Amino acid sequence: MSEQAHETIRIFVTGSCDGLQPLLEALAGSEELELLGANEHIAAAAPALAGGHLQVVLHATRSSILPINELAAIRELTRAPVILVCSSEASALLEEALEANVADVLVLPQFIENVVFSIRKSCHVGRSAEAPLGSEGRIVTVFSPKGGTGKTVLAANLAASLAHDEGKRTLLLDLDLQFGDAAIMLGLEPDKTIFDLVVAPGELDADKLTGYIVKHSCGLDILPAPLRPEDAELVTETKVGRLLEVARYAYEVIIVDTSPFFHGPMLSTLDRTDQLLLVASLDIPTLKNVRLGMQTLELLSFPRERVRVVLNRANDKVGIKQRQVEEALETEVWKSVPVDRAVPLSVNRGVPVVVADSGCDFSRGVHELAKALFPAKERERRVLSPLRA
């Protein structure tokens, strides 16, 4: 308990009001808090608010009425609880704030001890509200810095296997924003996409997300890529970050299919990725790009232990062996999925291979990959934990 009591809480301050500067200085000097920054303008603070590591937001206001639009803008970016800070009499704000699900209202000046207490209380309540099931969903990103590796086929079938065979609430998120085809590969013709979701008015939450997903008969939920390449520009890094934060509380696992580029949405995804499946194939150009991709991940300080190399279309008749791949990449191949004639047949029919032909070599490889992501001990622990509680 003592260790938890001294846990540092990460906070960010937006807005302005009289008496805010002394509070900022006190917050910066507190050993119990980590002040990540302060910015009067919410739009300018968007990258920090959507960064995925924030625990509490303090929003200062000079208004005598509840700043509804400002609170809505903050909640578009983060699920962290919001504490309203003001320098006027709070009685007019307090009742409105409680109805608007504001965590607390602080009237300045305040002793720093009172502020810290309010932040800790809000953080604790926020955690309880955010994760009623006791755990967050796992984000698995499937990436290859070279096109043509079969990445989307692998991501779509892995997601289908997790939903159909492992019985997990699974979302397939297509972040190949300009030319994504995960939906059509699964035989779906969506009328709503991630573009429609992020440009829709109102706060993004789990209920809103549900209205934009496409359901597959195997039990998988899909959020398709935009239908037009030009729509990709509006699916920003900030919007993707918020989407992933919402999705991880609605699903047990989110499989993210990506484009072969380190652009803003991809970087936002990496910030929240629990496991990165780096897809390689048995050809020299792909291995060269995969090695460059690994070097870029290192420059981005992405944890090496979260990276798993998956060899797709493994075939011992192309002149390159798995051992040579490992030597070229200076790392072990975590799993390999064999080449299989059933794959193009299934893709052309718009049916996941793991559903259409569960006994083929490709399907067995994907099933093994799905089970490796959720080992038997972990699956048993997840089933037993509610009973032990």
Dihedral of the alpha carbons of 62, 66, 72, 77, in degrees to the nearest 10: 50
- Whole-prediction pTM: 0.66
Residue position matching structure tokens 């300009």? 178
| Count of beta carbons in the 10 Å neighbourhood of residue 388 | 6
- Alpha-carbon gap, residue 294 to 291, rounded angstroms: 5
Domain 138-388 has CATH 3.40.50.720: no
**Domain parsing of the chain, residue ranges:** 2-130, 138-388
CB 227 within 8 A of CB 193: yes
Distances (CA, A) of 253 to 146, 222, 250: 25, 12, 9
Which pLDDT value is given to residue 2?
36
Residue position matching structure tokens 């049916």? 351
CATH superfamily of 2-130: Response regulator (3.40.50.2300)
- Alpha-carbon gap, residue 318 to 322, rounded angstroms: 11
342: left (phi over 0), alpha (psi -120 to 50) or beta: alpha
Nearest-5° Cα angle at 73, 63 to 116 = 65
CB 146 within 8 A of CB 285: yes
Count of alpha carbons within 13 angstroms of residue 62, beta-carbon side: 7
Instruction: Output the six-digit token pair for 189.
Output: 């013709």
150: left (phi over 0), alpha (psi -120 to 50) or beta: left
Which pLDDT value is given to residue 51?
66
Which pLDDT value is given to residue 64?
82
Euclidean distance between the first and final Cα of the chain, in Å? 18
| Count of beta carbons in the 10 Å neighbourhood of residue 334 | 15
14: left (phi over 0), alpha (psi -120 to 50) or beta: beta
Nearest residue to 158 via CA among 7, 3, 308, 4: 308
Which pLDDT value is given to residue 280?
92
- Alpha-carbon gap, residue 347 to 362, rounded angstroms: 13
pLDDT digits (tens, 9 = 90+) for 130-174: 444 345 789 999 999 988 889 999 999 999 999 999 899 999 999
Local structure of 288: helix, strand or coil? helix
Domain 2-130 shares a fold with domain 138-388? yes
Count of alpha carbons within 13 angstroms of residue 51, beta-carbon side: 14
Q: Per-residue pLDDT tens, the chain, 389 aa: give them.
A: 333 345 688 899 999 999 999 999 999 999 889 999 999 999 999 888 876 678 899 999 998 888 988 998 898 888 788 999 988 655 567 767 766 778 888 889 889 998 998 898 887 665 544 444 345 789 999 999 988 889 999 999 999 999 999 899 999 999 999 999 999 999 998 989 999 999 888 778 888 898 999 999 999 999 999 999 999 999 988 889 889 989 998 899 999 999 998 988 998 899 899 999 999 988 899 999 999 999 999 988 889 999 999 999 887 776 788 888 889 899 999 999 998 999 999 889 989 999 999 999 999 999 999 999 987 655 444 444 443 33
Instruction: Give me the helices (H) in the chain, please.
Output: 2-5, 20-29, 46-49, 68-75, 91-99, 112-130, 151-164, 182-185, 194-199, 206-210, 237-250, 264-272, 284-299, 322-329, 342-349, 353-356, 361-373, 376-388
